[in-house]
Chain A
Amino acid sequence: MEIAYTVQPRPDTGVYNAKLGMWLFLASEVMLFGGLFSAYVFLRMGAPPDTWPHGWLSVPLGTLNTLLLAASAVTTLLAWAACKARRFDRFKLHLGLTLILGTIFLGIKGYEYRDKWLHYEVQLKDGRIADGHLVRARTTAETVVLHGRYVADRRELLDGRRKHGPHEELVIPRDQIVRMQNYAPRHNTFMAIYFALTGLHGLHVLGGLVVFAYLWGPGSRLWHVDPEHFTNRVEVAGLFWHFVDLVWIFLFPVLYLT
């Protein structure tokens, strides 16, 4: 039994089934990320004065990741164009480049996550707050060693864009610690929404890469049987990838630049 319009577009609608299905899926994805972006707006607008942080994320790394994804959008398009031109070798090259770019993106994202995970805010008994990255090698049962600085008030930590004093090695006896918490999702609502948004986006990147890897590897056998069907698959996967790029284009200014 053959389902109609799996490969050829239906004349009056102008699309084949999978392409329409992907557009519909992307519409729902818009609503999914739309829900999360509204949550961001809602939380940020409702945040009391002097609680919403700025400049906590590395703009150079964010910019680099933006460029990587933008470049991968181009290579994805070229891979599809190569299929259309029936140049299988060019397809392999461009989709391979997409895979590499996407993987580097995830690597950088992972590095940023790790950076937040090792970043601690430590409330001391004398009222001061130590803020910095955990020096794991030197931390013992008696003392915690951070590379960072002391501040008197939590609010001083809110604006990462401003220049602040030099970082140094802080050796903190454990019995002086009231509360110690890393910059994990539970740290505050900014970190929470940051991890929720970028985490979900990261999962989408990962999903896209898995599909691309399949199309680049075992899935490419279809090319030799039905190149047009295979080209459609590349196109549909590409649509998804462009959407994932687009989400990042919104995430970058919302989280990194404001």
Chain B
Amino acid sequence: MQATSTVLPHLKHAEHSEAPGGFWRTYVFSTDHKVIGIQYGLTALCFLLLGFFLILTMRWQIAHPGEPVPVVGWFLEKVLGSPASKGVMSPDLYNMFGAMHGTIMVFLAIVPLAVGAFGNYLIPLMIGANDMAFPRLNMMSYQLYFLGGVVMLASFLIPGGAAQAGWTSYSPLATVIPTDGQTFWLIGMILLITSSLLGSVNIITTIVQLRAPGMTWMRLPFFVWAQLVASFLLLLAFPPLEAAGILQLMDKVAGTSFFLPTGLAVGGATANISGGGSPLLWQHLFWFLAHPEVYVLILPALGIVAEILSNNIRKPLWGYRTMVYAVLTLGFLSFLVWAHHMYLTGMGTRISTFFQTTTIIISIPSVILLTCLLISLWGGSIRINTPMLFALAFLPMFGIGGLTGLPLGFAASDIQLHDTYYVIGHFHYVVAPGTIFALFAGIYYWFPKLTGRRMNEFWGRVHFWCSLLFMNAVFMPMFAQGFAGMLRRMSDGGLSYSTRVAPGVEGTLSDFILGLNNYILWAAVGLGLAQIPFIVNLFRSIWRGEPVRDDNPWQSTTLEWQTPTPPPHGNFLRPPSVHRWAYAYGPRADGTDYLPQSVPESALSGQATRS
């Protein structure tokens, strides 16, 4: 046991101090931020798996258009009926799965995992609070999120199936598709938006109001800063999409024409609408949310990586203050770049110029953040373990994702790359081997705090190396496909535009480019298989993992490790006070290499004399 550890080894403590109440009050309708965090986490992981399953079946259809989906084809037909007759994925079903893959991954998996689960569980612990500022509101956010998820899932089963217009739901397409899927999508989105709105109010209030004595702003762990900025983005960027959602719902249900232009023809006939609306308006309102949303996906991940990195290099983060200012700048600038998704809409070169400028400016704080993390490694005594491996891999993966975004930020190069697989490769590098790796790192890292046991290290490394390999095998070829001009959202994977169908025609997709589809399919299958060790490890370790002997198994400085394991309702045995910043790592006179935030200077001198 470390000499500076202030914690008491009493793993069973939690059972005595758990709030009274039966199963329902403790696990389902709990107001404890930790239980809610775990609820968010488990639900979001299920949605992550579902989103992956959707794309896996789509990858089959892309590589083998018109062939029955193996293994699960009969199941799809049984559940979804005619769109999957004979187990073959129809173009309609492909569109549904495509739209829902994006929606589920962004709004039901990553954000709830990054902000809902990690934010909820860790923020009060890290700032030394006994719960969130509004516990009942917290419970309600989770319930609204769950309800939104149920509405989204239910939309698969209604006649006509789920939304088909992509996760971006561009009007007029989204409005004129005659099925009810889009209506369900909009209602689901309004629930999810309300949920994250309440969640972000709660997180910000908690960080501002409930910091322990001595926890000044510049002593906050970087993770908390990242969550604070992400919450502000959710708070301010989501409402315009809610407004847009209400307007599109009115277009769909009340027959208005907010996004429907005059003279719109559907299926060859002029639509019976008043017209006068603007399709561009939807795109503006949508991307005003959806670009800050990208930073909501990435900032908590950066926070997680910063914590794990600093813990495992055993030295302070390099440029903590710079990182804080960079993340604040990033948050502000993210509201000024949305229309770089819209260069090809004909909104005008002046507007394009403005957004190209802001887009290139925003890369500065992003590069600062990544560079600070990278330089932090210099001169560290690096410990390699599963969380650290994932955190380390995050740096180059997110780097690739970020740098491949530059050509998309310039209108001239975007003309070639817009809506191709290059874009898919770019943002998946940011979110999949970027954010999801950081989330994995976080799960492996904080698992001992939740359960008192470690996850298996060997299977953790198997999970890491296989995931890293297959992630790159899936997404790297997409850059080549995109350069060749292969468009996203094509249910035959580009076959109709290939030399196989139209030999000798200029500009068609070559056999090699098309053949990459099959290769990506098997890499995706491999990626799926690589998650099995993780899933088994996660659940097995809850009961059978190696028990930790200490409340602070990673020898960390931050407050969440100064609680009993797992933390009881109310978190801390004694109200903590904070005496220094979060990164007091490095060799010390008493032989340890870290100093927890909560250890007062007076206790320190006592120890110095003892050693």
- Does B417 have its Cβ within 8 Å of any Cβ on chain A? no
- Does A165 have its Cβ within 8 Å of any Cβ on chain B? no
Given A24-B204, A28-B235, A31-B236: A39 touches B133 (CB 8 Å cut-off): no
Interface residues of A in 154-204 (CB under 8 A from B): 184-189, 192-193, 195-196, 200
Stretch at the interface among B45-53, B251-259, B317-325, B484-492: B251-259
- Does B515 have its Cβ within 8 Å of any Cβ on chain A? no
Interface residues of A in 33-80 (CB under 8 A from B): 33-36, 38-39, 42-43, 46-48, 51
Contacts of A16 in B (CB 8 A): 209
On whether the beta carbons of B240 and A17 are closer than 8 Å, the reply is: no
Given A27-B235, A48-B262, A184-B254: A3 touches B240 (CB 8 Å cut-off): no
**Chain B: minimal CB distance from A185 (Å):** 5
Given A3-B131, A185-B255: A196 touches B277 (CB 8 Å cut-off): no
On whether the beta carbons of B274 and A20 are closer than 8 Å, the reply is: no
Most buried by A among B256, B281, B570: B256
On whether the beta carbons of A186 and B130 are closer than 8 Å, the reply is: no
Interface residues of B in 253-272 (CB under 8 A from A): 254-258, 262
On whether the beta carbons of A20 and B277 are closer than 8 Å, the reply is: no
Interface residues of A in 1-17 (CB under 8 A from B): 1-5, 10, 13, 15-17
- Does B502 have its Cβ within 8 Å of any Cβ on chain A? no
Contacts of B137 in A (CB 8 A): 21
- Does B201 have its Cβ within 8 Å of any Cβ on chain A? yes
Given A43-B276, A188-B276: A36 touches B243 (CB 8 Å cut-off): yes
Q: 1/0 per position for B175-201, CB-CB distance to A under 8 A?
A: 000000000000000000000010011
On whether the beta carbons of A27 and B254 are closer than 8 Å, the reply is: no
Contacts of B83 in A (CB 8 A): none
Given contacts A188-B276, A192-B254, 18 further A-B contacts (CB under 8 A): A1-B130, A1-B569, A3-B131, A4-B210, A5-B209, A10-B209, A17-B133, A21-B137, A27-B235, A33-B243, A35-B243, A39-B243, A43-B281, A48-B262, A188-B274, A192-B257, A192-B258, A196-B246
On whether the beta carbons of B274 and A187 are closer than 8 Å, the reply is: yes
Contacts of A195 in B (CB 8 A): 250, 254
On whether the beta carbons of B258 and A193 are closer than 8 Å, the reply is: yes
In the complex, how many residues of chain A place their beta carbon closer than 8 angstroms to a beta carbon of chain B?
A: 43
Closest 3 CB pairs of A and B: A35-B243, A35-B240, A186-B255
- Does B429 have its Cβ within 8 Å of any Cβ on chain A? no
- Does B288 have its Cβ within 8 Å of any Cβ on chain A? yes
On whether the beta carbons of A39 and B258 are closer than 8 Å, the reply is: yes
- Does B9 have its Cβ within 8 Å of any Cβ on chain A? no
Contacts of A47 in B (CB 8 A): 276
On whether the beta carbons of A186 and B201 are closer than 8 Å, the reply is: no
Contacts of A1 in B (CB 8 A): 19, 130-131, 569-570
**Chain B: minimal CB distance from A179 (Å):** 9
- Does A29 have its Cβ within 8 Å of any Cβ on chain B? yes
Given A43-B278, A189-B257: A13 touches B208 (CB 8 Å cut-off): yes
Q: Which of the residues B205, B246, B247, B276 comes within 8 Å of A17, measured between beta carbons?
A: B205
Footprint of B on A, CB under 8 Å? Answer: 1-5, 10, 13, 15-18, 20-21, 24-25, 27-29, 31-36, 38-39, 42-43, 46-48, 51, 184-189, 192-193, 195-196, 200
Q: 1/0 per position for B105-135, CB-CB distance to A under 8 A?
A: 0000000000000000000000001110111
Interface residues of B in 202-246 (CB under 8 A from A): 202, 204-205, 208-210, 235-244, 246
In the complex, how many residues of chain B place their beta carbon closer than 8 angstroms to a beta carbon of chain A?
A: 48
Most buried by B among A3, A28, A46, A189: A28
Given A24-B201, A31-B239: A5 touches B255 (CB 8 Å cut-off): no
Given A21-B202, A35-B288, A185-B255: A3 touches B135 (CB 8 Å cut-off): yes
On whether the beta carbons of B256 and A186 are closer than 8 Å, the reply is: yes
Contacts of A29 in B (CB 8 A): 239
Closest-by-CB residue of B relative to A5 is B209
Contacts of B513 in A (CB 8 A): none
Contacts of B133 in A (CB 8 A): 3, 5, 17, 21
Contacts of B210 in A (CB 8 A): 3-5, 17
On whether the beta carbons of A186 and B277 are closer than 8 Å, the reply is: no
Closest-by-CB residue of A relative to B256 is A192
- Does B284 have its Cβ within 8 Å of any Cβ on chain A? yes
Given A24-B205, A28-B235, A31-B237: A42 touches B281 (CB 8 Å cut-off): yes
A-B contact pairs, 6 of them (CB 8 A): A24-B204, A27-B236, A36-B246, A186-B257, A196-B246, A200-B246
- Does B157 have its Cβ within 8 Å of any Cβ on chain A? no
**Chain B: minimal CB distance from A241 (Å):** 18
Contacts of B197 in A (CB 8 A): 25, 28
Contacts of A4 in B (CB 8 A): 129-130, 209-210
CA distance A17 to B129 in the complex (A): 13
**Chain B: minimal CB distance from A119 (Å):** 15
CA distance A24 to B202 in the complex (A): 9
Given A3-B131, A28-B197: A186 touches B273 (CB 8 Å cut-off): yes
- Does B139 have its Cβ within 8 Å of any Cβ on chain A? no
CA distance A29 to B131 in the complex (A): 26
- Does B478 have its Cβ within 8 Å of any Cβ on chain A? no
Contacts of A187 in B (CB 8 A): 274
On whether the beta carbons of B240 and A32 are closer than 8 Å, the reply is: yes
CA distance A235 to B354 in the complex (A): 42
Q: Which of the residues A5, A15, A35, A42 comes within 8 Å of B278, measured between beta carbons?
A: A42
Q: 1/0 per position for B25-52, CB-CB distance to A under 8 A?
A: 0000000000000000000000000000
- Does B285 have its Cβ within 8 Å of any Cβ on chain A? yes
Interface residues of B in 485-521 (CB under 8 A from A): none
Contacts of A28 in B (CB 8 A): 197, 200-201, 235-236, 238-239
Contacts of B201 in A (CB 8 A): 21, 24-25, 28
Q: Which of the residues A5, A39, A46 comes within 8 Å of B285, measured between beta carbons?
A: A39
**Chain A: minimal CB distance from B251 (Å):** 8
CA distance A43 to B276 in the complex (A): 8
Contacts of B236 in A (CB 8 A): 27-28, 31
Given A24-B201, A196-B250: A32 touches B258 (CB 8 Å cut-off): no
On whether the beta carbons of B258 and A189 are closer than 8 Å, the reply is: yes
CA distance A46 to B257 in the complex (A): 13
**Chain A: minimal CB distance from B519 (Å):** 43
On whether the beta carbons of A13 and B274 are closer than 8 Å, the reply is: no
On whether the beta carbons of B240 and A20 are closer than 8 Å, the reply is: no
**Chain B: minimal CB distance from A219 (Å):** 15
**Chain A: minimal CB distance from B30 (Å):** 13
On whether the beta carbons of B254 and A39 are closer than 8 Å, the reply is: no
